[in-house]
Amino acid sequence: MRSLALVLLSLLVACEPDGKISPVTVQWMDWPDQVDAGQPFRTRLVVWGVCAVNPRFRAGTSADQSAVTFAPYFLIDDDNDILCAGGVAEPFVITAIDTAGTAPGLAATVSRTYEMRATALGNTYAVGVLGDFPVRTFGEVTVGPPGSDPSRLNAAGTVSVEKDSLGCVRVRPVGLYTPGAALVLEDQADTVGLSYAFVRGYIHEVSTPVCGETKVFHLSSLN
């Protein structure tokens, strides 16, 4: 899949103004479980930031007959000389950024699924260059006739685990430290191997609160 990431980025940046291109990976993605055919839909993307002044984010969205793919990157001015290592100033310390991309309307004459993919880090957290990041399947979206139910969000990504003073377990997209970013885990006992794992599941409302909250993350799988 590495060559696919390179092709996607090359095509997307060809029409951009002069500047440096800094590709980044997706740490977390969530999106509607169901969408109407032909209707664009918002996809939340948590990506690594870059050490630069006023970088301009691009989601790098593309779609074909089987999948939607995000290959995000930042545009950085040529005269931007902020470095990511060696005495960098505190405001430019890299953390994850909570942003979004828009998936295009997808064709479907009957209900069917498309894969949701994005460039993502592998088992190591090494910084890559253009085309180095593999494309990973985060999950699926169901596309069908009008009348889709937008209440459930599919979600996937690499998470850290935190437990509060009452013993409530939450998962948080790695590198994202904003308040409210952590999600209550629906099954509070299902935590083995969860920390810094790539997880798949969905976000939904439950009738019986878990840790005092009704919006929870249901874990389907991890690796």
What mean pLDDT comes out for the span 126-130? 42
Instruction: Check whether residue 111 and residue 215 sit in a common domain.
Output: no
More confident site: 65 or 7: 65
One domain, residues 133 and 163: no
* Same-domain check for residues 8 and 113: yes
Find the domain containing 184 and state its range: 153-222
Residue 95 sits in the same domain as residue 167: no
Alpha helices by DSSP H, the chain: 2-13
- List, edge to edge, every strand of the sheet that includes 67-70: 34-36, 135-144, 112-119, 67-70, 61-63
Residues 108 and 165 in one domain: no
| pLDDT tens digits, 168-223 | 999 999 999 998 999 999 999 989 999 999 999 999 999 999 999 999 999 999 98
Are residues 88 and 177 both part of a single domain?
no
The answer on 192 and 100 residing in a single domain is: no
How many domains does the chain divide into? Answer: 2
What pLDDT does 16 receive? 54
- Span 6-64, pLDDT tens digits: 444 444 444 555 568 899 999 999 999 999 999 999 999 999 988 878 889 999 999 99
8 A C-beta contact, residue 79 and residue 19: no
Q: CATH no. for residue 173? A: 2.40.50
For the whole model, what pTM was predicted? Answer: 0.84
All residues at 6 or more sequence positions from 86 whose CB lies less than 8 Å from its CB, including other chains: none
User: Of 94, 111, 144, which residue sits at a domain end?
Assistant: 144
Do 163 and 187 belong together in one domain?
A: yes
